[in-house]
Amino acid sequence: MSSTMLVLGPKLWVALAALTATAAAVARIGRLGHGRQIVVAAVRAAAQLTAVSLLIAAIVASLPATAGFVVLMCAVASGTAARRITSGTRGWWAAVPIVAGSLAVVAALLAAGLVPLRGIAIIPVAGILIGGAMTATSLAGRRALDEVTGRRGEVEAALALGLSPRDAVLLVCRDAAAQALIPALDQTRTVGLVTLPGAFVGVLLGGASPVEAGVTQLFVLVGLLAVEAVAVVITVELVARGRLRPAEPIPALAG
């Protein structure tokens, strides 16, 4: 059985370039405003994956190096989420839901013996969970702050009725922020019917049986639901407590 689902060679690089150009062109023609970002993201992904591919063998052979790489993943994920959520100096708070949501689950899995204490096992699991926490944090934070900004009149009215600042913010932003869970929920509901996600395909191509691949994918999906739920709840709480604030703060919530 081949260990890859793609035929490596010059045609693959031509296809990647064509897909990148197509995505950027469509975004520009459709006036989505992300044409340049698509190209930059594709180039960065190529460079970063090349670097990781060259270093991964050395990293997974050492637990300290593995731990350092996991910390790096958390730092990059936190910085990315912070930029998406707010331009203020409090963006570093985005690290809290990402670390709490992902590393707590990784630590629990290691403690239970479900994930072996080896770099080759820790890095993929941690990467998947940290990525899910980053996405959920970014989406929840943006939706929550957009609601607080767009419905500031309702927030001020709630304050006038005697609600605490935390409760007034939660009243308008919790439901919107909860929509950050929709992608993970849809992926879990439709797995096997619409898509065969990466973990399933990877394990299957690695020589495992379809049953083993299915169990692995189920573990990943349920783990992501847990991690993202924790990340969303913490993100909403940070917004409600003023740790993550909109670009134009509401005077009544200042202080």
Helix (H, G, I), strand (E, B) or coil at 195: strand
* pTM higher than the cut 0.85: no
Is there a contact between 225 and 129 (Cβ–Cβ < 8 Å)? no
- Interval 63-82 mean pLDDT: 91
**What type of residue is 60?**
V
- Interval 215-221 mean pLDDT: 82
Between 108 and 205, whose confidence is greater?
Answer: 108
Is there a contact between 177 and 244 (Cβ–Cβ < 8 Å)? no
C-alpha distances in Å from residue 128, one per residue of 18, 141, 191, 212:
27, 20, 16, 18
Greatest mean pLDDT among 24-33, 51-60, 135-144, 200-209 lies in 135-144
pLDDT tens, position by position, 99-148: 998 988 898 888 888 888 888 888 888 999 999 999 999 999 999 998 98
Q: Which of 99, 228, 95 is nearest to 107 (CA)?
A: 99
Residue 91 DSSP class? G
pLDDT tens, position by position, 151-167: 888 888 988 888 888 89
What pLDDT shows up at residue 251? 55
CA distance 216 to 207: 13
What pLDDT shows up at residue 31? 82
What pLDDT shows up at residue 133? 94
Is there a contact between 236 and 177 (Cβ–Cβ < 8 Å)? yes
CA distance 225 to 102: 11
For the chain, the domains span 1-60, 63-253
Helix (H, G, I), strand (E, B) or coil at 191: strand
pLDDT at position 232 over 90: yes
Report the chain's mean pLDDT, rounded to a whole number.
Answer: 84
What pLDDT shows up at residue 1? 43
